[in-house]
Chain A
Amino acid sequence: MNINHLNGGQKLAVKYYIVAMVLFGAQILFGLLSGMQYLYPKLLFGILDFNVTRTVHINAMIVWMLYGFIGSVYWLLEEESETEVVGLKLGTLGFWVLTSAVTVVVLVFLLVQGGPGDDFTRWFINEGREYIEAPRWADIGIVVCMLIFFYNVSATFMKGKWSGISGVLTLDLVALAGIYIAGMFYTPNISMDQYWWWWVIHLWVEATWEVLVGCLMAWGLMKVLKVDRKIVTTWLYIEVALMFGSGILGLGHHYFWIGTPEYWLTIGGFFSALEPVPLVAMVVHAVYDSGVRHMKGNNNPALAWLIAHAFGNFFGAGVWGFMHTLPQINLYTHGTQWSASHGHLAFFGAYATIIIAMIYIAVPYIRGQEGIGSNLPDGGWKWKWALGLLNMGVVGMTIALLISGYEQSFIERAVGGSTWLGYFTAQIHPWFVQGMEWRMIFGVMTAAGIVLLLWDLLTIGKEPASNQKLQTKSS
């Protein structure tokens, strides 16, 4: 791949995007294994147990999304700041350090898996806390790489010029890096542990990540639809106000049942019920701007994925989150397949979609093209089918998991009283098993979508567009 014509930030972005897509593939591979283990519990039993496959499934997801975000920011950095990236060599070193660390962590997860109950295990093998299983040495490595990334971004904007988008982005990165540190300590007290653990998980995925993708969405709409900067910036500020206005105290919906005081039931219920509001704003913003421009942009796949992001974020994070966020309902749904249903649609709808959109924005530049129109030599079937398969696959998994979740809430929780017997009575019920079977079918559909997506990203725009071919022929 010849990328010498790209600017420094863009060259680094391509590296991040490639690793992101490799990890996206790994996420789905291990997701398929985890899903199969629900149906065939003997599969890889004692070799790669569910706790291993599931840990790799969710960690690959978190890391590929971070790579996607970092790549997207490096991609837009020079254009937005109108100057060269400051400290690019350090940034490139950071990429290699981070990638080596991720490789070692994944290998240790797969080969060593666990260890005795001592500090060595937590520091070097597995911290055993969902989503932040990475051992402590890797946490420190991640923070160092994030600081390098932050230095690149803030120093470049300081040297070049600031904008609304870059201001929000830079402040958001401070919060994003700072919050990660809240998870880096040990306590025997599980209530205290989970109190701070949620600062990392919630304030990342329901606050700082949402604002980060708000910045990417603003930049993406300017790029693809040529929306006026003033409009996207104003919308971005509105989204930040609504997002942090609801999402920061929305953290309270994780403090219902972990030993925290009862006032969190009210605070968490109220503010998290407001969390969908900024996501409605994003849908209105994206749909309105697309409509005003009659859906005519310079990059069809990117525009399609931006719209998928607006709706996916609203339904996945907003609606699916709201459905079980009130404590009166959450009492029965907390820790059931409801959470898995919400997780699948939210992570895909809110984050996977926008990163894919950002990569599609980058692809024509990488291949030296103007954009991606409707005149592709193959009619663009690959990106269209990838879009369809991925979205239908994830929506299908979401509905299947929701059906299993409903069954689990009734039979295990409401009737069975959450005992181990209640749990297994729900797990072997045909309604639950059917949900798991359908999830598997749609999981395979999602995997097919990814294969097609990767194939398309590797090939789209390599051949000249069809009208150019015709012009060449006629001339």
Chain B
Amino acid sequence: MNNITPWWSSESYWKKMAIWVTAFMFIVLIGLTIDTIPQITAGSERVPAYSVINKHIGYEFNDERNIQVPVIGAEDPLFGKVLSEEEAEALVSHGKKITQGRNCMGCHTLLGNGSYFAPDLTKAWLDPGWSSEPERENLMIEFLMDPIANARSFGSDRMMPNLDISRDEAKAVIAFLKWMSSIDTNGFPYNFTVIDKES
């Protein structure tokens, strides 16, 4: 037996490997990030501009991609009011700040990330639980403003606590949810049933 360490198990070889592999992977990640950022900037194909809340949003099966994808349709302004791009961004941003300030992620998931104590909110705007499209906006406002009186527990004992959400705050949250439902999430959630168009 010789006592010479072969190159493939030597300290210096693995030291170099550790440095090179780390550097290489990090550079690849930076490159992919540079490619991804424009594709997830609001106003891109995958992540629509905030003014998408002025439009009808559907979620339909796409034969080519073999998944459901958001479909942006005709004019369908939220709460009947067409907003400019700046106004829409301000409203969605206010809505998102409310979801952060009330720690919604402490119970819900958004884009599937967060906690698992309450339903996922990714496509909450499109959920069939809101009865039908004409009734949806009012039901959502009422629920957010008083989630105990208007509890949507679906046979469970779980209820959303009253988070003192005002009417204006509820509208902002709904704008954020409507905008989020337009994001192309590669088919997540799968096999989703969309709210009825007519009451």
Asked whether A and B interact, the reply is yes
Q: A46-B161, A428-B156 are in contact. Are A258 and B101 (CB under 8 A)?
A: no
Is A189 in contact with B42, judged by CB distance below 8 angstroms? yes
Write out the residue numbers on chain A whose beta carbons fall within 8 Å of the beta carbon of B152. Answer: 420
Interface 1/0 per residue, B81-99 and A, CB below 8 Å: 0000000010011111111
Write out the residue numbers on chain A whose beta carbons fall within 8 Å of the beta carbon of B11. Answer: 164, 230, 233-234, 237
Which one of A38, A249, A259 lies within 8 Å of B28 (CB-CB)? A249
Is A256 in contact with B110, judged by CB distance below 8 angstroms? no
Write out the residue numbers on chain A whose beta carbons fall within 8 Å of the beta carbon of B41. Answer: 189, 192
Asked whether B72 is an interface residue with its Cβ less than 8 Å from the other chain, the reply is no
Q: A128-B104, A419-B127 are in contact. List 18 more A-B contacts (CB 8 A).
A: A37-B117, A38-B117, A50-B107, A51-B103, A117-B100, A118-B97, A122-B97, A125-B101, A128-B100, A128-B106, A230-B11, A244-B21, A248-B25, A258-B40, A259-B47, A337-B116, A418-B191, A424-B156
Write out the residue numbers on chain B whose beta carbons fall within 8 Å of the beta carbon of A425. Answer: 154-155
Is B14 in contact with A241, judged by CB distance below 8 angstroms? yes
Bound complex: CA of A256 vs CA of B114, how far in Å? 15
Bound complex: CA of A261 vs CA of B102, how far in Å? 30
Write out the residue numbers on chain A whose beta carbons fall within 8 Å of the beta carbon of B120. Answer: 335, 418, 423
Is B40 in contact with A188, judged by CB distance below 8 angstroms? no
Is A259 in contact with B107, judged by CB distance below 8 angstroms? no
Is A133 in contact with B190, judged by CB distance below 8 angstroms? no
Is B36 in contact with A257, judged by CB distance below 8 angstroms? no
Is A261 in contact with B46, judged by CB distance below 8 angstroms? yes
Is A129 in contact with B188, judged by CB distance below 8 angstroms? no
Q: Which residue of B lies closest to A338 (CB)?
A: B116
Interface 1/0 per residue, A181-192 and B, CB below 8 Å: 000001011111
Q: Mark the stretch among A94-102, A108-116, A364-372 that contacts chain B.
A: A108-116
Interface 1/0 per residue, A350-364 and B, CB below 8 Å: 000000000000000
| B residues in contact (CB < 8 Å) with A | 9-11, 14-15, 17-18, 21-22, 25-26, 28-29, 32-33, 35-37, 39-42, 46-47, 50, 89, 92-107, 109-120, 122-124, 127-129, 152-159, 161-163, 169, 172, 176, 180, 183-193
Asked whether A157 is an interface residue with its Cβ less than 8 Å from the other chain, the reply is no
Q: A114-B102, A419-B192 are in contact. Are A249 and B158 (CB under 8 A)?
A: no
Interface 1/0 per residue, A224-256 and B, CB below 8 Å: 000000100110011011001100110110111
Bound complex: CA of A419 vs CA of B68, how far in Å? 14
Interface hits, A380-431 → B, CB 8 Å: 408, 413-415, 417-421, 423-425, 427-428
**A35 to nearest B CB, angstroms?**
11
Asked whether A63 is an interface residue with its Cβ less than 8 Å from the other chain, the reply is no
Question: How many A residues touch B, CB cutoff 8 Å?
Answer: 88
What would be 8 A-B contacts, judged by CB atoms less than 8 Å apart? A45-B159, A164-B15, A238-B14, A339-B116, A340-B116, A419-B127, A420-B119, A420-B129
Q: A121-B97, A332-B190 are in contact. Are A190 and B180 (CB under 8 A)?
A: yes
Q: Which residue of B lies closest to A125 (CB)?
A: B101
Interface 1/0 per residue, A323-336 and B, CB below 8 Å: 00000000110111
Bound complex: CA of A168 vs CA of B156, how far in Å? 51
Asked whether A130 is an interface residue with its Cβ less than 8 Å from the other chain, the reply is yes
Is B156 in contact with A55, judged by CB distance below 8 angstroms? no
**B140 to nearest A CB, angstroms?**
12
Asked whether A54 is an interface residue with its Cβ less than 8 Å from the other chain, the reply is yes
Write out the residue numbers on chain B whose beta carbons fall within 8 Å of the beta carbon of A264. Answer: 32, 36
Q: A51-B107, A117-B94 are in contact. Are A191 and B40 (CB under 8 A)?
A: yes
Which one of A50, A197, A237, A265 lies within 8 Å of B14 (CB-CB)? A237
Write out the residue numbers on chain B whose beta carbons fall within 8 Å of the beta carbon of A420. Answer: 119, 124, 127, 129, 152, 154
Write out the residue numbers on chain A whose beta carbons fall within 8 Å of the beta carbon of B172. Answer: 117
Bound complex: CA of A189 vs CA of B162, how far in Å? 26
Asked whether A287 is an interface residue with its Cβ less than 8 Å from the other chain, the reply is no
Is B153 in contact with A259, judged by CB distance below 8 angstroms? no
Is B98 in contact with A424, judged by CB distance below 8 angstroms? no
Is B18 in contact with A241, judged by CB distance below 8 angstroms? yes
Bound complex: CA of A121 vs CA of B96, how far in Å? 12
Write out the residue numbers on chain B whose beta carbons fall within 8 Å of the beta carbon of A331. Answer: 187-188, 190
Bound complex: CA of A241 vs CA of B155, how far in Å? 51
**A406 to nearest B CB, angstroms?**
14
**B131 to nearest A CB, angstroms?**
12
Bound complex: CA of A125 vs CA of B50, how far in Å? 27
Bound complex: CA of A418 vs CA of B121, how far in Å? 10
Is A51 in contact with B100, judged by CB distance below 8 angstroms? no
Interface hits, A408-463 → B, CB 8 Å: 408, 413-415, 417-421, 423-425, 427-428
Bound complex: CA of A263 vs CA of B31, how far in Å? 13
Is B183 in contact with A335, judged by CB distance below 8 angstroms? no
Is A248 in contact with B107, judged by CB distance below 8 angstroms? no
Which one of A49, A119, A234 lies within 8 Å of B161 (CB-CB)? A49
Interface hits, A28-84 → B, CB 8 Å: 37-38, 40-42, 45-46, 49-52, 54-55
Is B39 in contact with A260, judged by CB distance below 8 angstroms? yes
Q: Which residue of B lies closest to A418 (CB)?
A: B189
Q: A116-B98, A118-B101, A259-B183 are in contact. Are A249 and B29 (CB under 8 A)?
A: yes
Listed from nearest, the 8 A-B pairs whose CB atoms lie closest are: A51-B106, A128-B100, A117-B98, A418-B189, A424-B154, A237-B14, A335-B112, A188-B93
Write out the residue numbers on chain B whose beta carbons fall within 8 Å of the beta carbon of A428. Answer: 154-156
Asked whether A319 is an interface residue with its Cβ less than 8 Å from the other chain, the reply is no
Q: Which residue of A lies closest to B93 (CB)?
A: A188
Bound complex: CA of A52 vs CA of B163, how far in Å? 12
Bound complex: CA of A259 vs CA of B44, how far in Å? 10
Is A259 in contact with B100, judged by CB distance below 8 angstroms? no
**A92 to nearest B CB, angstroms?**
33
Bound complex: CA of A189 vs CA of B43, how far in Å? 10
Write out the residue numbers on chain A whose beta carbons fall within 8 Å of the beta carbon of B21. Answer: 241, 244-245
Is A121 in contact with B100, judged by CB distance below 8 angstroms? yes
Is A260 in contact with B40, judged by CB distance below 8 angstroms? yes
Which one of B18, B42, B117, B128 lies within 8 Å of A244 (CB-CB)? B18
